[in-house]
Structure 1
Amino acid sequence: MRKERGSQPLCLWHVSPNAMRLSRLLRMSRRDTLLAGMSAALAGSIGVAVAQDQQPSDQRSSNTEDLPVEEFMALSRRLTDRAELDQRIGDALCAGIVHGNAARAEQIHALHDLLTKGNFASASEFAHAAETQDKAYKDVVHEIMTGWYRGVADGKVVVYRSALMFDITKDAVYPKTYASGGPFYWTAKPPEVAVPTGQPAMSPSKFVVEPT
């Protein structure tokens, strides 16, 4: 059975004090080397993770710069007859529409040129002129309007509560939620709504039943 004297190993009982100090220093040196190696490996892994996180962000910002966002927002303001729209929602809708169909970017450019060269007093006038110039622009107009009013682009929900379809009736109808207008709010008389008198600006579209 091995014995120890003063917490020193048996092999060091008959060696000089200098040898004992050297042995202790060597043990500390090996431990420090191991700790330094572990620290370097950890720092390296963190650096790789940070680089991986930053790369997609840089790519996303680069992709956003390539999108016709400003032209998309100008078209959106004209088509919705609104002076102000949420820029963040517009960025997401534009990205979704272009992602779903790469040709939409050039079509947005062309529609913006039509908008700037003409003098359109309303969304109806502009939509009618767009379809007259190119039948394909009708689908672009539909996608822009669907994005803003339903909050959907490229088949994905981009925004829900801030979709414009809820803004139109926000004084009477709440978005689907468990926290609505208080107890028995549905028993109150809804506000009067004027009968619409506008006429369709574009030709009828094929009725599509969406899956539920």
Structure 2
Amino acid sequence: MKDNNNSEEKSELSTSGRFRRNLLSRSGSLIAGFALVSGGLTAVPALASTENNDASDFTAFIRLSRLLTGHNSLDIQLGERLYSAMCQQNAQFAGWVKQLSDYVQQNNIPDVETLDEKLKQHPLHEPMMAIVKAWYSGVIEPGYHATVYGYQQALMYQIPRDGMVIPTYAHNGPDYWVANPPPVDRLLTF
């Protein structure tokens, strides 16, 4: 009976600890956001707040991204960040997405390989490749000063995830501290 109470207490402690960590991380992000705005810098706006982007454009982007990456379960929040950033980087991007989507529908393109072959010498090939690179790398521009829109969610880390740790200085991978530590089989003696 006493052991059962201890396990309930530990469960409550770990739940409250997780809640505190999440609260601390969210409040830190909020403070950083206020600091950026008050300092005159602007953060990447959310998709809903952009004037020249609407929900149908974003839906077309996600549909096109699923075809281009071959993955149906893409992270929608990452998609919002990538789409918003790519539209900010180039005012023609939303139009390119529409043109690519129309081309795919009109030509009954079944996969990215077929589309790549048909667009080899076409001006839409470059925006197509930019979308693929963004989803796989989590960035939209080259160089070591590039803004990272998705690290853990980048597709280049999803495929080998079962056998490879995402590169990081945290030895057990990003956010390793949220998982329970492995059980101690025996105590080390020194």
Q: TM-score range by the shorter chain?
A: 0.5 to 0.7
Confirm or deny: 8 A CA contact 1:73 1:90 kept in the other structure: yes
Pick from 149, 169, 188: which aligns with 2:160?
Answer: 169
Residue 88 of structure 1, CA deviation: 0.9
- Residue-by-residue CA offset, 1:88-140 (whole Å, 9 max, x unaligned): 111111111111111111111100101122222221002222335x2x21211
Determine the C-alpha separation between the residues in 2 that align with 1:130 and 1:87. 26
Aligned positions of 1:95-174 closer than 5 A: 95-132=84-121, 134=122, 136-154=123-141, 155-174=146-165
Q: Equivalents in 2 of 1:142, 1:172: separation in Å?
A: 27
Aligned residues: 126
Give 1:62 shift.
3.3
Partner residue of 2:172 out of 177, 180, 184: 180
Q: Is the contact made by 1:75 and 1:112 (CA closer than 8 Å) also made in structure 2? A: yes
What residue in structure 1 maps to residue 59 of structure 2?
70
Structure number with larger C-alpha Rg: 1
Residue aligned with 2:164, SS: coil
2:96 and 2:124 in contact (8 A); partners too: yes
Question: Structure 2 vs 1, CA of residues 139 and 95 (structure 1 numbering), >3 Å: closer, same or farther?
Answer: same
Distance 1:88 1:141 in 2: 20
Q: Report the counterpart of residue 8 of structure 1 in structure 2.
A: none
Runs of 5+ in structure 1 lacking a partner?
Answer: 1-51, 183-212
- Cα distance, 1:159 vs. partner? 0.6
Secondary structure at the residue paired with 1:174? coil
Write the distance in 1 (CA, Å) between the matches of 2:126 and 2:94.
Answer: 13
